[in-house]
């Protein structure tokens, strides 16, 4: 199962983690993993190239040669409000994927101070 954790601060979303593989289909054919990966990549591009967030952090650990089994992305809370449109869109999209593929993807939310 692909597990997504959304981290919320007082001003909005401040990070997310994805871990694991969905098991929906064989590697290279798994649309659930591909959808989650595409959204996280879009978030990274949006943070870096659209919002110009230079201090966003990204950590990845590879599970296999072709795919990461763990990704963590976080940014400073003082940017959360201005990034809300981008980050909330990604968060809601990840929730939709999980809702449509229960047993293969899940989303949990953590509130940090």
Q: Report pLDDT for 38.
A: 94
Q: What is the pLDDT of residues 24-58, one digit of tens each?
A: 998 889 999 999 999 999 999 999 999 999 999 99
Q: Report pLDDT for 69.
A: 82
pTM: 0.90
How much is the mean pLDDT over the chain? 92
Q: Which positions ≥6 away from 38 have C-beta within 8 Å?
A: none
Rounded CA gap, 94 and 36, in Å? 7
Tell me whether residue 104 is exposed, middle or buried, using C-beta atoms within 10 angstroms of its C-beta: 0 to 12, 13 to 18, 19 or more. buried
């Amino acid at each position: 199962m692909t597990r997504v954790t959304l981290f919320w601060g007082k001003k909005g979303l401040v990070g997310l983690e994805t871990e694991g593989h969905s098991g929906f289909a064989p590697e290279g054919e798994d649309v659930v993993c591909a959808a989650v990966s595409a959204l996280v990549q879009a978030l990274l591009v949006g943070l870096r190239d659209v919002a110009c967030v230079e201090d966003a952090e990204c950590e990845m650990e590879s599970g296999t040669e072709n795919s990461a089994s763990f990704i963590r992305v976080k940014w400073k809370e003082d940017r959360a409000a201005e990034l809300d449109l981008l980050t909330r869109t990604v968060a809601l999209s990840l929730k939709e994927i999980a809702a449509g593929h229960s047993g293969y993807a899940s989303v949990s939310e953590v509130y940090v101070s």
